Structure formats: C-alpha cells, structure tokens
Amino acid sequence: MGNVIVVLVEGITDQISLESVIEDIFSKYKINFYLFEGDITTRTGITPSNIKKNIGDFINYEIKKKGLSGKDIKEVIHIVDTDGAFCKEEYMEIGDVKKFYYTEDKIIAKNINDIKIRNEHKTLNLNALINMDKILRNVPYKIYYFSSNLEHVFHNCLNLNSETKRKLANELEDRFEENPNLFLEIINSQNIKAPGNYEESWKYLKLNNNSLKRASNLHLYFLEKKII
C-alpha cells in the first residue's frame, strides 16, 4: 500500500481551507489535493455507469503529472457539497433569482424543473459513489459531504460569491494553521456532525430537506483513523 492520500474536491477554496490542516494531521503521509474545478456529479455526460471510470481517469492523469502510479496511493477521499440534491419538490420554490438560491429549508430558482433535473442527475451519481468502495484497481475510496456546502459548515453562510469564498478560505486556513484541533472540533461538534455511521449518515442526508441543513459526515473519516 502506498503513502499518498488523495483528496478530491470541487475547487480551490476547498483546497485552501483544508489542505494544510489535513497535511498537519496526517504528517506521516503525503497529501495530494486534486480539483475537479466544479461538481463532477452534475457534469454533462457523467452518469452512474461511467462516473467511476471518469474519476479513475482523472486521478491517473493527476498522479502521472507528479510521477506517481496507482500503487503509490494509500486511499482516496472524495469531498462533495450536497447543494440540496436530495430535496423533493415540496422544498423547491419559484423566485426571481439568477441562479439557484439556497436556504436551510428550500431551493429557489426561476424554474422548478431546472432544480428537479439537476437534483436527479446529481443524486443518481452520488448514489453510485456512495456504494463504491474502490477506485482505480484496489485503492480504497469513500465519499464524504458538506451540507449544503463547505462555507455553510464552517462559516454558517450560504449563497456566497467567489471573492467572499476565497477570503473566508484564506481566513480558515490561517485559523487551522494556528490550531489544527479546531478543525476536528468543528466537524465533530454536535450541531455539525451527521448522525450515525457512514451508511446512516447518507440515509440521514436523503430525508426530507436534510441535504440543505448544516451538516457533514467528514468526522467519520477521522473517527475511523482514531484521531477523534
């Protein structure tokens, strides 16, 4: 088994917020963050039948740039934003907004059908990944979530623009650098951590409008490693 932990995230603010503190916690391993530059679960052409191959190809491409191979990877952690994906139509509302607007109770859009199409696409792909425990050949894989996104979990904010997200990410990086245990305290706090084990944490997310609520199951990864 290799010495590299691959962390898959959606974008640069995820990397800024999390990379240094995860490197500090797992100092005996090499941490490689790879950015999809967006949400792969909603990407056009990505389906449950090809998402595993697409993620595997993406990892292979990234590790080859670093002179690595699959045998160098210890495990893959994939962190996603939930974005209210499992909400049913009763939690959707029409409003005069340019893009999807999120609250802890509902998703607002100009056209409810747009939300329904996005949610169906995203949840089908998420369900495929939840049930997947290996990537590449035999590299362990698990997917974890921030609900409804990273800024919601760590800052209790929604619907932020890119500039504000970047500013908050830099601030979070500094806070975690000063106190790495703060990261563990936040994700393991009662008002953040999703209930139950890995399977139960995803079942919780799928209930009602829980995929809009402030929650994460990322603590389970660190619990498994006996760090918290």
Q: What is the pLDDT of residues 51-68, one digit of tens each?
A: 999 999 999 999 999 999
Report whether pLDDT(1) > 90: no
Residue in the block written with tokens 């999390």: 18
Residue 102 gets the label, from left (phi > 0), alpha (psi -120 to 50) or beta, of: beta
Report whether pLDDT(139) > 90: yes
CA-CA distance, 123 to 11, in Å (whole number)?
20
Amino acid identity for residue 38 in this structure: G
Report whether pLDDT(100) > 80: yes
Per-residue pLDDT band for 38 (boundaries 50, 70, 90) equals very high
Residue 62 is predicted with a pLDDT of 97
Amino acid identity for residue 22 in this structure: I
